[in-house]
Chain A
Amino acid sequence: MSQADVSPTAATVADESVESLDERALVEACLAGRSDAFDLIVERHRRSVYQLCFRFVGNHEDASDLSQDVFLRAYRGLRSFRGQASLATWLYRIGVNVCLNRVSVKVPAQVSIDEREHEDTRAESPTQRLLRDERAVRVRAAIAQLPRKQRITLILRMYQEMSHQEIADVLGSSVGAVKANFFHALGNLKKLLATE
């Protein structure tokens, strides 16, 4: 039995708390006009969407704007969600497209070391923290210079911890292509860091 078969329909969820609904039913509730259903989708996925955006653009302001844009586009395209992939994968796909469109017209910014005051670094000495932050800035700058597909693949694999299959679903490619992109991303990262 498919997921759609067991999901409450839009009509039956009208009086139900959205908290108990599965993804498909949540989408149906949104389409039926329940704004609280989409609020819940945002609440469940906002952190991962924000983190994805941040890793693309490297600063809070842009990541915040992009996250809002991702959810707005998701809402506009809600009827095209067919439940074949998970809602998270579908949102990632939108997120990747939104980020790539933004990044293609804007050089990714990097957070300066001084601005990174939110992190809990109490276990580190000031020197260790400085070295770690400098290394992170260099690595992010190098990642930003990778070809698009290699960069996306590395971000999704290393930081979003998505499987090769999930990345392939997001990018609309094969698992083999994802692995090849990851392989070349690591190789190019080494060259980029070596030339600095």
Chain B
Amino acid sequence: MHLTPEQFIDLVEGASAESATGHLETCERCRAQLVELQEMRAVSTTGGDVPEPSPLFWNQLSARVHEAIAAEGAPRVAWWRPSTWPWLALPVGAGAMVALVLAFVLTSRGLEPVPAPDPAPIAASAPDPGVEDASLSLVADLAAQMDWDSASEIGAPLHAGAADEAIGDLSPAERRELQRLLQELARPGA
């Protein structure tokens, strides 16, 4: 068994392993190949010279980059960041409210008459693990991370029955889009 490429590179770069050096003592072919690799490594160093540009070049390069960036504007937000989807804020917020109400209704079924949901602590309304619908769990998670200010910013209504009102205000097309988005977000790996 001859040396592997990894062992050769380790030897060429001076990081010898005992097993490899032991083999080299008995294998003429590997010894010859190692010498060739060492020679080529030395030869390749001659191709790496980079002529030093004019001392003025560096500042010119910085200035060119600076100008290009000034023309470009602010750095773009990565597409996968939620902040790039402002148009999602309202439907997701409304969906979150619906999920909270449903979760509450499902868990309280059969106990007592359903009281009006407490509108104050949105962030404290943890999703119920008993809710099996993945999309509802997801929006419940999203809602749990939402604070008062964020909810107010997106215009989410915060009184009892607000979720129904929010859904009622959506057009048929918006409802279909909301449904599609929730299904997409609920998909494993999404």
Residues of A within 8 A of B (CB): 30-31, 33, 35, 38-39, 42-43, 46-47, 50-51, 54-55, 60, 64, 67-68, 71-72, 75-80, 111, 116, 118-119, 132, 135-136, 139-140, 142-143, 154-155, 158-159, 176, 179-180, 182-184, 186-187, 189-190, 193
Contact = CB atoms under 8 A, between A and B. Distances in A.
**What DSSP secondary structure best describes chain A's contact surface?**
helix
Interface string B38-76: 011101111111111110011001101110111010111
Given A64-B57, A64-B61, A77 B76 contact: yes
Contacts of B12: 186
10 contacts: A42-B62, A60-B53, A64-B61, A71-B69, A72-B69, A75-B72, A77-B75, A158-B48, A180-B5, A187-B36
Interface in B110-150: none
A182 B75 contact: no
Contact of B9 (A64, A77, A182): A182
A158 B87 CA distance: 49
B30 interface: no
B187 to A, nearest CB: 23
Contacts of B190: none
Given A35-B70, A46-B58, A30 B49 contact: no
Contacts of B72: 72, 75-76
Contact of A189 (B8, B43, B74): B43
B61 A79 contact: no
Contacts, number: 120
A158 B41 contact: yes
A180 B48 contact: no
Contacts of B28: none
B37 A186 contact: yes
Contact of A135 (B9, B46, B57): B46
Contact of A158 (B44, B50, B65, B74): B44
Given A55-B48, A186-B37, A190-B40, A80 B6 contact: no
B43 A139 contact: yes
A46 B58 CA distance: 7
A176 B10 CA distance: 11
